[in-house]
Structure 1
Amino acid sequence: MVDENIPGAAKCFGQFGEVVTRSGRQIGAADLQDVDILIVRSVTKVNKSLLAGSRVKFVGSTTIGSDHLDTEYLRSQNIQFCTAPGSNADSVVDYVLSVTCRIDGLLESLLGGGRVGIVGYGNVGKRLGQRLSAIGIPWLAYDPLLDPKQYPCLRSLEEVVDSNLLSLHTPLTTSGPFPSFHMLDAKILRAIPQNGVVLNAGRGEVVATAELLALLDSRPDIRLALDVWEGEPNFSPDLAERCVIATPHIAGYSVDGKKAGLRMVATELACFLGEAEQFNADVDDINAAPQVLCTGSDVATVLREAVLGVYDVAEDCQRFLSIIQDSERGARFDLLRKHYPIRRELGYSKLLTSNLDMASLLRAVQGGK
């Protein structure tokens, strides 16, 4: 059983047996009675109520997160499982850069001595930090699960929040010494500097939605760029209307990221089955790599030309804003994700310039690819 919204999955997993596809949100226990292998995305909650009585022995998620998997239950039932950590990290970094280039004055303020605060220093956080450093933007990071002696960039949450752009990339956790659920409440959010930007491309529940909405009444200067929402797909239209950029959980939706996630899970499944994997997926040549000619003579102009020439988040925002007052906005939210247009990553694009001084900047914004 494979989520029908995973591009190329039917062909890729067909080498291991008969493939049946179904909408991820609609996969139920009754669908799994004759299923051995379950391949999902983050929209499918994989737990006892879904798997009890089934013969499922392997669960693969082509996404980077695991909060939709009841890992304790899976281990107790000796069900093998895997995710695809880091597969779409570069896609999410591209999203952050596109938002940075789209919000008025943000790129200039960051290049002029401003700072990015990164919350969650995992695969996305590390790659974001590397690319920011490469293009000359200062940053700090917060991650209480890591050792500051090993990562000197780590600071307290309070210090990281005091940044021109606060970029959230933490997984959702509700237990342990540092749960991320509602980690960003009114007390923390109130410390955001004047005209600061809050970008969330991690999990919607990391931000306390009601407290954020209340805070905006007294702090209308705070600008929001949200890709994830509490209660997805039934997001808050009031919060969406207050955003400068609002999108339907598509930050990691590049075709390159999807292909990488698919391959990681296919490799794990082949190992589990003791079979040789032949990677087959119809995602290689769907769309040629974008080619962008950058003609600017200053750093900000060239960065904007390059980033927005490959991926302009404003187009995703426009599509999303058209559904926020729809009575069926939850269903429309999923349809936007299901019918998401082909998007390539900066690292797989051709960025051209006749200005030799800018050639190294273009390589830097691509992550050195």
Structure 2
Amino acid sequence: MVDENIPGAKQCLAQFGEVVLRSGREICAADVQGADALIVRSVTKVNPALLAGSSVRFVGSTTIGSDHLDIDYLRGQGIQFCTAPGSNAESVVDYVLSVLCRVDGALASLLTGDRVGIVGYGNVGKRLGQRLTTIGIDWIAYDPLLNPADHPNLRSLAEVINSAVLSLHAPLTVAGPFPSFHMLNAVQLQSLPENALLLNAGRGEVVATEELHALLDSRPDIRLALDVWEGEPDFPAALAERCAIATPHIAGYSVDGKKTGLQMIAAELANFLDKPLKVGDDNAVAELLAIHCPGGDAFSLIPAAVLAVYDVAGDSQRFKAIIADAERGKRFDLLRKHYPPRRELAYSNLVAVEPEMASLLRAVQGGK
């Protein structure tokens, strides 16, 4: 049983048996009763209500997060499960860069000394930090689960919030010593610097949505770029209207990221079944048309390269067009289902017009 919105899943997984496709939000207990394996995305809640009494022995999620999986239940039932950590991390980093290139003044301020604060220093947070370093942007990060002695850029949450750009990449947790649910409330966000940009491409519930919306009345200078929302797919329309950039949870939706996630799950399934994995041909960079990027300095080259490959403004325009729709939740899912193909910077054929800019262009692409 496979979420129909995982591109290429039927072709990739048919080597293991019959593949039945269903809408991820609509997969129900009756669908999985006779299934041996369940392959999902984050929109499917995998729990006793879904799996009790079924024959499912393997659950794979092609996403980097696991908050939609009842891990204790899966372990208790002896059901093998896995996710695809890091599979779309570079895609999310590309999204962040595109936002920085689209929000007025954001990139210029960072290139002249302002810094990015990263909340959540996992697969995405680390890669974002690495990309920022290579293109000459200062950053610090907060992650209470890591030892600062091992990561010199780690700081307290208060220090990280005091950044010109606050980029959220924390997973959603509700238990443990450092739960992330509503980790950022109005009191903390009030300390954002003037004209700060708050960017969330992690989980909507990490921010107290109603408090954030109320805060904007006294801090209209705070700019928002939100890709994730509490209550998805029925997102808070009033908050979305006040965003500089608003998108329907697509930061990690590159063709390359989706393919990597599927391949990771297919490899785990092959190992579980003790079967060989047949991998299809990849689309080589050489097959892509060359994109010539003009620019004699970072201020011009970075936007030229990033926006030529992925311009978040298009996604934001399509999303804002559904805000007033009475069935915006349904339209939210349709935007994701029919999302246009998007390549990652690292897999795009970019060429610097000025040869001396070639090294900076490689840095923008992630050094690949």
TM-score category of the 2 structures, normalised to the smaller one = over 0.9
In 1: Cα distance, 2:117 partner to 2:222 partner = 15
2:196 partner amino acid: G
Q: Do the aligned partners of residues 323 and 287 (structure 1) sit closer, same or farther apart at CA in structure 2, a change above 3 Å counting?
A: farther
* Structure 2 match to 1:204: 204
Instruction: Describe the superposition over 1:3-56 as per-residue Cα deviations: whole angstroms up to 9, x where unpaired.
Output: 000000001110000000000000000111111100000000000000001000
Stretches of structure 2 that go unaligned for 5 or more consecutive residues are none
* Structure 2 match to 1:314: 313
* Structure 2 match to 1:366: 365
Shift of 1:306: 0.2
* Structure 2 match to 1:273: 273
In 2: Cα distance, 1:61 partner to 1:315 partner = 28
* Structure 2 match to 1:222: 222
In 1: Cα distance, 2:170 partner to 2:25 partner = 23
Instruction: Describe the superposition over 1:100-156 as per-residue Cα deviations: whole angstroms up to 9, x where unpaired.
Output: 000011100000000000000000000000000000000000000000000011000
1:297 partner amino acid: G
Shift of 1:354: 3.1
2:37 partner amino acid: I
In 1: Cα distance, 2:285 partner to 2:127 partner = 26
In 1: Cα distance, 2:103 partner to 2:289 partner = 23
2:320 partner amino acid: L
SS at match of 1:149: helix
In 2: Cα distance, 1:46 partner to 1:351 partner = 41
In 2: Cα distance, 1:261 partner to 1:33 partner = 25
Structure 2 counterparts to residues 78-89 of structure 1, below 5 A: 78-89=78-89
* Structure 2 match to 1:64: 64
SS at match of 1:221: coil
In 1: Cα distance, 2:233 partner to 2:63 partner = 17
Structure 2 counterparts to residues 57-136 of structure 1, below 5 A: 57-136=57-136
- Please give the TM-score of this superposition, normalised by the length of structure 1: 0.98
Q: What count of residue pairs does the alignment treat as equivalent?
A: 368
* Structure 2 match to 1:340: 339
Shift of 1:324: 0.6
Residue 337 of structure 2 is aligned to residue 356 of structure 1: no
Instruction: Describe the superposition over 1:248-286 as per-residue Cα deviations: whole angstroms up to 9, x where unpaired.
Output: 0000000000000000000000000000010248x7479
CA contact (8 A) 1:84 1:265 kept: yes
In 2: Cα distance, 1:80 partner to 1:9 partner = 19
CA contact (8 A) 2:286 2:349 kept: no
SS at match of 2:276: coil
In 1: Cα distance, 2:279 partner to 2:40 partner = 18
* Structure 2 match to 1:242: 242
* Structure 2 match to 1:26: 26
* Structure 1 match to 2:295: 296
Q: Do the aligned partners of residues 270 and 119 (structure 1) sit closer, same or farther apart at CA in structure 2, a change above 3 Å counting?
A: same
In 2: Cα distance, 1:127 partner to 1:347 partner = 12
* Structure 1 match to 2:164: 164
* Structure 2 match to 1:255: 255
CA contact (8 A) 1:290 1:344 kept: no
Stretches of structure 1 that go unaligned for 5 or more consecutive residues are none
CA contact (8 A) 1:60 1:82 kept: yes
Root mean square deviation of aligned Cα: 1.3
- Runs of 4+ aligned structure 1 residues displaced above 3 Å come to 283-290
In 1: Cα distance, 2:78 partner to 2:21 partner = 24
Instruction: Describe the superposition over 1:66-89 as per-residue Cα deviations: whole angstroms up to 9, x where unpaired.
Output: 000000000000000000000000
1:125 partner amino acid: G
SS at match of 1:25: helix
In 2: Cα distance, 1:289 partner to 1:69 partner = 37
Shift of 1:243: 0.1
Shift of 1:291: 2.8
* Structure 2 match to 1:231: 231
CA contact (8 A) 2:116 2:139 kept: yes
SS at match of 2:150: coil
CA contact (8 A) 2:285 2:347 kept: no
In 2: Cα distance, 1:335 partner to 1:288 partner = 29
- Please give the TM-score of this superposition, normalised by the length of structure 2: 0.98
CA contact (8 A) 1:266 1:279 kept: no
